[in-house]
Amino acid sequence: MTDKLTEFISELDKDPELQNRYKENPRQTLESFGVASNDIDLILGNDLAALKLRLEMSGLKAILIITESN
């Protein structure tokens, strides 16, 4: 089974078009990529410690998380 959240994060790092779609509409981009709703809530909830733990549990060894405030 593919972990769509880690797959999404990896693709987001490489794909400028995906980055732009995510900036414009994060939830819709995550949904259309096939990320599970609980993972969407996790990534959009801005709990960076929980997100880091979730990604590490899926085998992602290193990740840089950048957030923006409105």
pLDDT tens-place values along the chain, 70 residues long = 468 988 998 899 899 999 999 999 999 999 999 999 999 998 899 888 888 888 888 877 666 655 555 4
The structural domains of the chain, with segments of one domain joined by +, span: 4-57
Global pTM?
A: 0.78
Instruction: Report pLDDT for 1.
Output: 45
Q: Are the beta carbons of 37 and 45 closer than 8 angstroms?
A: no
CA angle 67, 49, 60 (to 5 degrees): 90
